[in-house]
Amino acid sequence: MRFGRTLPPAASPIYLRDIFSGIRGCLQGNKETERFSAELREYFNVQDCFLVSSGKAALTLILQALKDLAPERDEVLIPAFTCYSVPSAILRAGLKIRLCDIDPGTLDFNFHDLRKYFQAPHNISRLLCVVPIHLFGLPADVSRLRTLIPDENILVVEDAAQSMGGGSEKGKLGTLGDVGFCSLGRGKALSTVEGGIVLTSREDIAAKIHHRFKKTPSYTLLEHLKLIINSVLLSIFQHPSLFWFPRLFPSLKIGETIFDVEFKVRKLTSFQAGLSRSWKSKLNDFQKKRRKRTLSWRSSLERKYIYELSDNYEVPALIRFPVKIDNAKARERVKKRIKNMGLGIMHTYPDSINKIKELKNYFHGQNFPFAEELSKSIITFPVHPFVSQRDIRKIKERLGPELLQS
Ligand SMILES: *Cc1c(COP(=O)(O)O)cnc(C)c1O
C-alpha cells in the first residue's frame, strides 16, 4: 500500500475549466458537437468525422460499416500483441479476428509473417480489413503495409487510439488508412473522460458509417450523470498527489486490462464536446511535454532498450515510453527495484491476443512467439505531463546502471 505522490503510467489532464466548458457545452447541445467535429475535420484534413463514446465504439462502427460495404468478407487482421479493446470491438461488430505476429524491434506487424499471410489465397478471400496500430504512439508503417496488401478490396483501418496529434507534415496519424480512429479515453493523448473519433475521406465508407451513426443511441440521462461525475473524479484523482487514493480500492480495477465485449456504443455528448473546447492548445502543450520526456528517456537508456522508429518520422510524443527488455526475468528485476515507489512504471497488456482467456479456443494451435514473449517482458516508463524532472531523476537513481547509458 502506498500513500503520497504516485504517478499513473499514463495520464491526460482534465482541468476544472474544461469541466465548466463541458457544462456550458451541455447548454449548447448539438452546436457544440458540430463545432468539435468541424475543428477535427480541419485539423486532420479529412472529409468526414463521427464522434462516439469510445475508441472501441469508433472501431465497432467502422467495422460494421465496412461489413455493410462488403458483406462477403468477415475477417479482420490485427497484430497479435495489442490493446484488448481491438479484438473486443471486432467481436462486437460480428466479425472474426485474425492475427499476425509482431516485430519485436518495432511493435508493428512482423512484415515477414504478413507477406506470408497474404500469399495464401484462403487468407485473403474473406479478409475485410487490416488494422495497423500506433502502439504507445510509435508510428506503425502504414505505407509499407499498403504495398503488401494484395487486393484493393482489403481496406486499411488505422488505429490511432494512442497517437492523436502524431504524424508528419505528409499526413497525420489517423488519416493514413482508408478510415481511422482516435480515442479520447483517460490515459490517451487527449481525454474527454471517454470518447472516440472516426476519421475518413472515403465517401463510400462515410456514407455507410453515417447510416449506422444516425441510428446510434445518445447517452441516457443516467450515463450522462455518471460521465459528469467521472470527469470531476478524474480531474482530481489522476493527479500524482492524489492518485494513490483511488488505487486503494481494488474494485475500481485501475490499471487492469479487461476483455469486455459489452461496452456501450453511443454518440459523443455535448458535455464531452464542451470539455474539449480548448483541445488544440491542450494537445499541443501535452505533445510538447511528452516529446520532451520521450527524448529524455531516449537519451538516458541504453540503445538496446529503445524501439527504433520507422523512416520519415521525428521522435514522436509517446503516451507511454516502451522499454525493450528482452526477457521476463530482467523485467522482474526492474519491477522489484521500483516496487511501491509509485513511479508509473508498468507492464502493459498481460498476454498476447491469442492467450486471452475468453478467446483461447478461438486460436487453438496457433502460435505467435514474438507477441507471447513480448507480453511477458515489455515495460513502460511514464512520459505524461504530470511527470517532473525530479520523477525522472528518481527513476534513474532507482534503476541503477543496468538499463542506463554509461
Ligand atoms: C485505448 C485503445 C483503444 C480503445 O479506445 P477506448 O477509448 O479505450 O475504447 C483501441 N486501440 C488501442 C490501441 C488502444 O490503446
Distance in Å, CA 196 to ligand 1 centroid: 9
Query: Which range, of 94-103, 114-123, 246-255, averages the lowest pLDDT?
Result: 246-255
* CA–CA distance, 162 with 145 (Å, rounded to integer): 19
Query: Which range, of 4-8, 247-251, 278-282, averages the lowest pLDDT?
Result: 247-251
Give pLDDT, residue 170.
75
Phi, psi of 404 (to 5 degrees): -90, 155
Phi, psi of 321 (to 5 degrees): -95, 105
Judge if the beta carbon of residue 131 lies within 6 A of ligand 1. Answer: no
Which of 59, 138, 188, 227, when mutated, tests ligand 1's pocket best, judged by the most ligand atoms within 8 Å of its CB?
188
Over residues 373-386, mean pLDDT: 94
And the C-alpha cell for 140?
Answer: 506503425
pLDDT-derived band at 293, boundaries 50, 70, 90: very high
Report pLDDT digits (tens) over 310-319: 666 778 999 9
* CA–CA distance, 56 with 185 (Å, rounded to integer): 10
Give pLDDT, residue 310.
67
Q: Which residues contact 347 (CB under 8 A, 6 or more apart)?
A: 331, 335, 378, 379, 380
Range from 33-47, 299-313, 350-364 that averages highest in pLDDT = 33-47
DSSP strand E in 87-172: where? Answer: 96-100, 127-130, 155-159, 167-168, 171-172
* CA–CA distance, 389 with 386 (Å, rounded to integer): 10
Give burial (CB, 10 Å; 0-12/13-18/19+) of 105: exposed
> Three-state SS for 276?
coil
Q: Which residues contact 78 (CB under 8 A, 6 or more apart)?
A: 86, 87, 90, 97, 98, 99, 100, 130, 131, 133, 353
* CA–CA distance, 6 with 344 (Å, rounded to integer): 7
Q: Which of 88, 158, 147, 142 is nearest to 118 (CA)?
A: 147
State yes or no: pLDDT of 402 exceeds 80: no
End-to-end Cα distance, the chain: 34
pLDDT-derived band at 287, boundaries 50, 70, 90: very high
Give pLDDT, residue 201.
98
And the C-alpha cell for 318?
Answer: 509517446
Distance in Å, CA 258 to ligand 1 centroid: 12
pLDDT-derived band at 156, boundaries 50, 70, 90: very high
Average pLDDT for the chain: 93
Which of 85, 265, 319, 353, when mutated, tests ligand 1's pocket best, judged by the most ligand atoms within 8 Å of its CB?
85
Report pLDDT digits (tens) over 30-39: 999 999 999 9
Report pLDDT digits (tens) over 231-272: 999 999 999 989 888 888 877 777 777 899 999 999 999 999
Distance in Å, CA 169 to ligand 1 centroid: 24
Judge if the beta carbon of residue 88 lies within 6 A of ligand 1. Answer: no
Judge if the beta carbon of residue 85 lies within 6 A of ligand 1. Answer: yes
State yes or no: pLDDT of 366 exceeds 80: yes
Question: Which residues sit opposite 76 in a β-bridge?
Answer: 97, 129
Judge if the beta carbon of residue 348 lies within 6 A of ligand 1. Answer: no
CB 368 within 8 A of CB 28: no
Q: Which residues contact 139 (CB under 8 A, 6 or more apart)?
A: 163, 166, 167, 173, 309, 310, 313, 316
Give pLDDT, residue 334.
85
Which of 83, 109, 135, 378, when mutated, tests ligand 1's pocket best, judged by the most ligand atoms within 8 Å of its CB?
83
**Which residue do the cell numbers 447541445 mark?**
29
Over residues 72-91, mean pLDDT: 98
Judge if the beta carbon of residue 55 lies within 6 A of ligand 1. Answer: yes
C-alpha pair distances (Å), 266 with each of 51, 93, 102, 196, 262: 9, 14, 32, 10, 13
- Minimum-distance ligand 1 atom for the alpha carbon of 187: 1
Distance in Å, CA 147 to ligand 1 centroid: 26
**Which residue do the cell numbers 512467439 mark?**
369
> Three-state SS for 118?
helix
